[in-house]
Amino acid sequence: MNKDAQMQRMAELPVLSVLLRMSLPMMISFFIQALYNIVDSIFVARISEAAFTAVTLAFPMQQVVTAIAVGASTGVSAVWSRHMGQGQGREASEAIRTMTALSLLFSLLFAALGLTLSGPLFRLQTDDAEIAAMGETYLAINWIFACGTILGKYYERLLVSAGRAVLSMLAMASGAVFNLIFDPLLIFGIGPFPEMGVAGAALATIGGQLFAVVVAVLLNARCNPAVRGDMLRPAFHPRAAAAILRVGLPSIVTMGLSSLTSFFLNQILLLYSTTATAVYGVWLKLQNFCFMPIFGLNNGIVPVLSYNYGTGRVDRVRKAMHMAIFGSAGLMTLLLLLLEAIPGAILTVFSAGPGMREIGMVCLRACVLSLPFAAVSMILSTSMQALDHSRYALVINLLRQCVLLLGTFLLFSLLTRSEKLLWLAVPLTELLTFAVALLFNHRFRRHLRAAQSARGA
């Protein structure tokens, strides 16, 4: 099948069929990725609670890399798909080559930060020398080799944008399998491998990411002719860079601010205990695991929306959005019911002691109430980004991941001084964000109707 036929499937096949083709492989691959993140945390928790706390404190800064990788890859996916839908091959090629240059630039930036700032950042957070030393090591390794995350997200997204979501799944799964194999070997020193603790966890993670990059490059070279000649030839085109960042900036800014928010939330939790910080780390891992289907759906829906909008099929855009919203809300409701019943089992998996279990039972039961509301907000935000209404997405993401989250935690902390009531801030944040997202969705749909009328005229 040639590249035009591959792209045309997004405009000709039934909407549900296209969404399933594009999203299911991504959901599976994100699930696998989440699974190895969970397993990584489980292994680290078995070292000690201090080790798990160190990794939890590193997580917000580690997520800055993910923010840039996800935001920029979302931007190039939407821009490239739109140009392809409009038959603008030269502009599509410029977008790919520009994204290659941006990926290399971001990788060099984080390598420099890893060599210089990982230690000072950790010493700002804690006076515990053991936690600071382990966290510095873990963060430095992840930042120095950030190219694995940045290039991996980019090359995997190219496969999705060209309708090759199954191949993207294979690339991500290859990295996950690598990590699952080497995590216990490097952490605990099994067989010929040295016992490296949290450093081993970091090396297994970045090793898996780099392995996935190699696989993704080979799959693009063999199976994605639309980008084969451009993906390894960096060039900078200002107009293409502006278009990529215009779409991707809301994700970059909000995920980056989310990392900053998590940094400050950790400082609030440390006022209570390091155990409270570890419990919040369990929730972040669990939340990330639950959201993997939504991340997969978001990855799959972006090229579907952008391509159909570029070809003038606004009816298909609206239908795809409806299916994504109701599907994600239903799935998260089922997960909510399941997780409300088993918080103790989850904490046991993370080797929780009596103190951690006491706080964690309350935390998890409160926080999982947020899942359905968060899912709908995320789908609406991504849809608005894909259809060039990034200002709405930016506000939603800022509220959800920064302003409301930090504000509600501060409010509950000041008013209640309770380590247990504090966790109600999470569902309250998602409920308020959900209300704002629905308001923006009403305005956004008026723009879609206007666009449909204009094209009909």
Residue 379's contacts (CB-CB under 8 Å, 6 or more residues apart) are: 294, 297, 298, 301, 321, 324, 325, 328
**What is the rounded average pLDDT of the residues 295-300?**
82
Q: What is the DSSP letter of 403?
A: I
Question: Tens digits of per-residue pLDDT, 36-47?
Answer: 677 778 889 888
Angle (CA) 335-341-342 rounded to 5° is 90
Residue 188's contacts (CB-CB under 8 Å, 6 or more residues apart) are: 43, 195, 200
**What is the rounded average pLDDT of the residues 251-264?**
79
Report the amino acid identity of residue 369: L
98-112, 187-201, 297-311 — which is least confidently predicted?
297-311
Question: Tens digits of per-residue pLDDT, 163-180?
Answer: 787 888 889 889 988 988
Question: Tens digits of per-residue pLDDT, 395-448?
Answer: 888 888 888 999 999 999 998 888 888 999 999 999 999 999 999 888 877 777
pLDDT of residue 5: 54
**What is the rounded average pLDDT of the residues 75-96?**
84
- How many CA atoms are closer than 13 Å to the CA of 393, on its beta-carbon side? 25
From 235, 239, 76, 91, select the one nearest 162 (Cα to Cα). Answer: 76
Euclidean distance between CA atoms 425 and 278, whole angstroms: 17
Report the amino acid identity of residue 382: T
DSSP string, 319-354: HHHHHHHHHHHHHHHHHHHHHHH-HHHHHHHTT--H
CA dihedral (162, 164, 168, 171) in degrees, to 10, reads: -120
**What is the rounded average pLDDT of the residues 5-18?**
67
Burial class (CB in 10 A: 0-12, 13-18, 19+), 180: middle
- Which spans in 86-232 are helix H? 89-116, 118-125, 129-144, 147-161, 165-188, 198-223
**What is the rounded average pLDDT of the residues 334-341?**
94
pLDDT of residue 297: 87
Kind plus residue range of the DSSP H or E element containing 410: helix 404-416
Report the amino acid identity of residue 423: W
Euclidean distance between CA atoms 394 and 302, whole angstroms: 16
pLDDT of residue 394: 82
160 with 77: CB under 8 angstroms?
A: yes
pLDDT at 2 over 60: no
Q: What are phi and psi of 314, to 5 degrees?
A: -65, -30
Euclidean distance between CA atoms 96 and 87, whole angstroms: 15
Question: Tens digits of per-residue pLDDT, 116-128?
Answer: 999 898 888 888 8
pLDDT tier, 7 (very low <50, low <70, confident <90, very high otherwise):
low
Counting residues of the chain whose pLDDT is more than 70, the rounded percentage is 95
Burial class (CB in 10 A: 0-12, 13-18, 19+), 379: buried
Token pair listed for 155: 């090359």
**What is the rounded average pLDDT of the residues 19-34?**
76
Over the chain, what is the mean pLDDT? 86
Q: What is the pTM of this model?
A: 0.73
243 with 377: CB under 8 angstroms?
A: no
In the chain, the N- to C-terminal Cα span, in Å, equals 34
Token pair listed for 439: 């308001």
Token match 């239903």: residue?
Answer: 330
The full 3-state SS of 165-204, as one line of letters, equals: HHHHHHHHHHHHHHHHHHHHHHHHCCCCCCCCCHHHHHHH
pLDDT of residue 1: 46
Q: What is the DSSP letter of 234?
A: -
Angle (CA) 139-140-141 rounded to 5° is 95
**What is the rounded average pLDDT of the residues 343-349?**
91
